[in-house]
Amino acid sequence: MIRATVLGSGTSTGVPTVACECPTCTSPDIRDKRLRTSLLVETGTATLVIDTSADFRQQMLNHKVLDIDAVIYTHHHFDHIGGFDDLRPYAFRSGRAVEVHGMHETIEVLKSTFPYAFGLVESTGASVPNVHVNYINDTPFVAGGIEVTPIPMRHGRNMRVNGYRFENLAYCTDTNHIPDSSLALLQDLDVLIIDGLRWDPHPTHFTIHESLAIIGLTQPRRTYLTHIAHQVLHARDSQLLPPGVEFCYDGLVVESV
Tally of CA atoms within 13 A in the half-sphere of 228 that contains its CB:
30
Count of domains observed in the chain: 1
User: In the chain, what is the greatest distance between 2 CA atoms, to the nearest angstrom?
Assistant: 56
- Whether residue 175 is contained in a domain is answered as yes
Q: What's the chain's length in residues?
A: 257
Spans in the chain with pLDDT lower than 50: none
Contact 234, 244 (CB under 8 A): no
- DSSP annotation string for 8-52: E-B-TT-BSPTT--STTTT---GGG-BPBPEEEEE-SS-EEEE--
- Whether residue 238 is contained in a domain is answered as yes
Q: Which strands form 131-135's sheet, in the order they lie side by side? A: 131-135, 98-102, 70-72, 47-50, 38-42, 2-8, 253-256
Beta carbons within 10 angstroms of residue 178's beta carbon? 23
- Whether residue 115 is contained in a domain is answered as yes
- Whether residue 85 is contained in a domain is answered as yes
- Whether residue 95 is contained in a domain is answered as yes
- Whether residue 240 is contained in a domain is answered as yes
- Whether residue 257 is contained in a domain is answered as no
Q: How far is CA 227 from CA 37, 123, 128, 169, 211, in A?
A: 6, 36, 29, 17, 12
H helix runs in 114-183, sequence order: 180-183
- Give residue 93's pLDDT: 97
DSSP-assigned beta bridge partners for residue 196 = none
As to burial, measured by CB atoms within 10 angstroms (0-12 exposed, 13-18 middle, 19+ buried), residue 1 is exposed
Q: In the chain, count of helices (H) and strands (E)?
A: 7, 14
Distance CA 130, CA 121 (A): 15
209 phi and psi angles, rounded to 5 deg? -60, -45
pLDDT in tens, 125-145: 889 999 999 999 999 999 999
pLDDT in tens, 7-28: 999 999 999 999 999 999 999 9
- Give residue 123's pLDDT: 84
- Give residue 125's pLDDT: 85
- Give residue 255's pLDDT: 96
What CATH number did the domain enclosing 207 receive?
A: 3.60.15.10
Instruction: Tell me the residue range of the domain where 237 lies.
Output: 2-252
H or E element, residue 234: helix 234-238
